[in-house]
A and B are shown apart, each in its own frame.
Chain A
Amino acid sequence: MSRSQGPSSLKRKRPESNSLSQSLTDQERKLYDVIRSKQDMGIWTRDMKRETNLPDNVVNKSLKALQAKNLIKEVVNIQNKGRKHYMATEFQPAKELTGGSWYVEGSLDTEFIKILRKFCVDFIAELKVATLEKVTDLIRRNGVFAVDVTQQQVEEIVRTLVLDNEIMEVKSNGMGEFASVPIGKVCYKLIGKGGLGGELKAKTGAMASIPCGVCPRISHCTPDGVISPKTCVYYTKWLDF
């Protein structure tokens, strides 16, 4: 896996202004100045049309020309993928546009997330009681990722593991298994013990284990109606074992 995530680099070497002014028309220049002024946030085409007051066809033509001269580039805005967003080539898109460290080419990097989740779970299981710092340290020392995994990233992953009911968040009372953790410090434990097969997680409840519990038509179901337990296809499928 190769993921380079670092602080946004701002500028490359600027082309000479004299040569730039010679190669750009007035409209292109005006448009380029507006785009460049937005730095790493870039600008939406509709906004640039409003700010420059240039007609649509002029803007479209100028954008093509600027792109051809490698002065601007189109970037994906994760908040509004349908919009055409441009910025000067010397800038790297801001986090607000890219979605941050979890995104690659405008989409969630699910593979990266999945692997990082697995490592977090494995280390928490190994440590029995783990703080965020310990897990982050183990991941960094493991060296499996080409990029530097920050504690904030680990924290975000760990929070989703809590939401997925794979681990639980507890506060240390300084005793027993928490002896090495300061009192009141938030730490994490794997949910489920070996005695019960090691997995508790989200066990299927009573309602969820029968067709009625998850039926989208239950409000239309009546004993002798068109939809009824006697005629229910979900029941038939459930009982066909």
Chain B
Amino acid sequence: MVLFDNVLHRVRFSKFMAIVSQEFDKPCVDLIETLLQHGRLSLEQIFDGFRDRKSSGGMEALRGNIHKLVMARYVERCPVAEPFLALPSEEEAAPAKRRGAKSAKIFFEPETLEQRVLAAAVPPEAIRFSVELNPEISADTERDENNSPSNVGEKRKHDALESGIDGGVADKQVVLWRVNFEEFIRRLRHKLRSLFLSHLSHNIPTGGGWWNEIETQDVHTVRRSVASCLHGDFPIVLSEGQICVENVRARLDDEAATVFSAMLDASRSEEKKLKIPSSVPLSVESIYQEVIKSEKDRTKTLEHIIPVLDQLSSSPPFIRVIGDSYIIDFKHIIELAQTDEVESIVLKKYGKDAYRIFRLLSKAGRLLETDKVLVTPQILVGVGWDNLRTTGCANIGICKAILLQLASGATRKPALWICTEVNVDSVFVEKKETANILSKMWQGDYLQMEKLVAGPTHFLLWKVNMINIREHVLDDMFHAALNLSLRVAYELEQQKEILNLGVHGPVKEKYEKLRKVRFLLESSRMKLDDAVMIFHDF
């Protein structure tokens, strides 16, 4: 069974290592790197791999590091190779129903076989992150004590046999460990929430003495990427808490960013699943306790926190208040990030006027949970079903046309439409230009269009359907990611002679240019991957 997500994660290895580097020291980062390279290893194989390394700090330190990584949930036990899968119940076997236009966003797909297998294979939490239960720890301790050169060959032979065991189930004593991608994605989600995209700098650093030679093997690329992260050259991954609250800081202030960050930290330990719409309810006291953990915020009191929480719950609402508790609205934050990305594309592709029109339609669509349409050329947004507002002859005509159309069943009947007149005064774009822009955006699949006919008159209705847009934008993102990878490979292939000559060769300028080109392409790919996560993983 191919796990598509795990294939995607390969691009993110440098990000995962950067996350670990912010919490732990280099030996832990090396451990994670080893696991990422090999996929899954037994503890014995890990010990063997690090036995001769001076940087590992000895076996005792190695055991401690493994323990730390498992406790932090960055490393987990591999799931069983052949999980038991119960037959689906009647409810689960029934086909999923689309609930209709009103809840079009809530489409409950039946769990796929892949999802069920993965869920069944995951060991219970207590076992999944428990190193103590692993008898290999004590076995390895004895081996360390008795280890001698003469035994090394036999031990390696034994390991070679073990490594061929898939999942380690043949020998119950051997447990395989792997990187827990779920935890890393959770950390990235926390970091990349709150509209981080608007804060990613496109000032790609061109300096950096860390790039000494260009190689094509992944492990070296990973090492350099981590080095660049540690040196602060890489613009994507910032230190803990920086990205995750940057937009809060931009929209509100530093105080709000601090409190929001504390809420994320407080809720993290309670998150059982990855894609959850909101955090667990947090009391003011628990948020306060988290805030004062930081040195600089130690002197703050509850009186500092409460107004900030009110500020965070006002427009745009990053948090919601339920009784005495506060909940981070993850779903809303992720939707904002997705909308920002889409609007950015519209702005770049179609221009400022189109951006304005798109946001007008998008906001109108978000006001109520019903179908909304924009009518042109008279340009109405929606038509009041119960409250037909007559603001002019043209509007009456459109209203009548829509009513006739709906009555005939030719168009879906919404539960309630709302009339909001939008004319050229609302967007300050000439009428003819507006029609051109709408047509272009429709051809690019950013708008939906419906035609209404009332006698000799034709009306065009326009609408933003964010669900459809997200799907095709995500498709384009995957396509673009592939294109970036192919172009990098192409550039290196074309310039391999320059590579061979090296940085001190006669073509130093061309070498530098190639270095910058590669950096631009690869950093763009990493930045794009952040956007992919927002649309696909979070």
Q: What is the interface of chain A, defined by CB distance below 8 A to chain B?
A: 78-79, 96, 99-100, 102, 107-108, 113, 156, 159-160, 163-165, 168-171, 173, 175-176, 191-193, 195-196, 200, 202-210, 212-214, 216, 218, 221, 223, 228-230, 232, 235, 239, 241
Contacts and interface: CB of A to CB of B under 8 A. Distances in A.
B248 to A, nearest CB: 11
A102 B427 CA distance: 11
A108 B431 CA distance: 10
Given A108-B428, A191-B250, A210-B484, 9 more contacts: A160-B426, A160-B428, A163-B427, A176-B307, A193-B253, A203-B197, A204-B348, A205-B344, A208-B341
Category for how many chain B residues contact A: 35 or more
24 contacts: A100-B425, A102-B425, A160-B428, A168-B251, A170-B315, A171-B315, A173-B311, A175-B307, A196-B246, A200-B198, A200-B251, A202-B340, A203-B198, A203-B199, A203-B200, A204-B348, A205-B198, A206-B341, A207-B344, A207-B345, A221-B483, A239-B517, A239-B520, A239-B521
Contacts of A208: 341, 344-345, 347-349
B486 A223 contact: yes
A228 B527 CA distance: 21
Q: Which of A78, A169, A192, A204 has the most CB of B within 10 A?
A: A204
Nearest to A152: B425
B428 A206 contact: no
Given A203-B198, A207-B341, A96 B531 contact: no
Contact of A206 (B352, B360, B424, B531): B531
Nearest to A193: B250
A125 to B, nearest CB: 15
Given A169-B315, A175-B307, A208-B345, A202 B425 contact: no
B253 A160 contact: no
B421 to A, nearest CB: 12
B67 interface: no
Interface in B228-271: 246, 249-251, 253-254
A209 B482 contact: no
B314 A173 contact: yes
B162 interface: no
A193 B476 contact: no
B24 interface: no
A230 to B, nearest CB: 5
Contact of B197 (A108, A163, A206): A206
Contact of B487 (A203, A235, A241): A235
B229 to A, nearest CB: 18
Given A100-B425, A229-B490, A239-B520, A206 B359 contact: no
Contacts of B200: 203, 206
Given A165-B359, A193-B249, A203-B199, A108 B430 contact: yes
B355 interface: yes
B527 A209 contact: yes
Nearest to A202: B347
Which DSSP category, helix, strand, loop or mixed, fits chain A's interface? loop
Contacts of A241: 516
Contacts of A232: 483, 487
Nearest to A109: B428
Contacts of A209: 202, 524, 527
Nearest to A241: B516
B315 A191 contact: no
Given A164-B355, A176-B311, A193-B249, A204 B480 contact: no
Contacts of B527: 206, 209
Contact of B473 (A203, A207, A228): A207
A79 B432 CA distance: 10
A148 to B, nearest CB: 17
Contacts of A200: 198, 250-251
B356 A163 contact: yes
Nearest to A161: B356
B356 A202 contact: no
Contacts of B198: 200, 202-203, 205
Contact of B480 (A113, A175, A203, A213): A213
Q: Which of B199, B348, B484 has the most CB of A within 10 A?
A: B348
Contacts of A169: 315
B44 interface: no
Contacts of A191: 250-251
Which are the 5 A-B pairs with shortest beta-carbon distances? A205-B344, A212-B480, A206-B531, A229-B483, A208-B348
B280 interface: no
Contacts of B311: 173, 175-176
B215 to A, nearest CB: 21
B76 interface: no
Contacts of B347: 202, 208
A196 B341 contact: no
A191 B311 CA distance: 15
B392 interface: yes
B359 A207 contact: no
Interface in B513-538: 516-517, 520-521, 524, 527-528, 530-531
B315 A207 contact: no
Contact of A210 (B480, B486, B516): B480
B479 interface: yes
B479 A212 contact: yes
Interface in B403-449: 424-428, 430-431, 444
A171 B340 CA distance: 21
A113 B310 CA distance: 36
B465 to A, nearest CB: 18
Nearest to A113: B428
Given A96-B392, A99-B424, A196 B250 contact: yes
Contacts of A195: 249-250, 254
Contacts of A205: 197-198, 340-341, 344-345, 531
Given A192-B250, A210-B524, A213-B480, A156 B425 contact: yes
A229 B480 CA distance: 9
A230 B494 CA distance: 10
Given A196-B250, A214-B349, A221 B428 contact: no
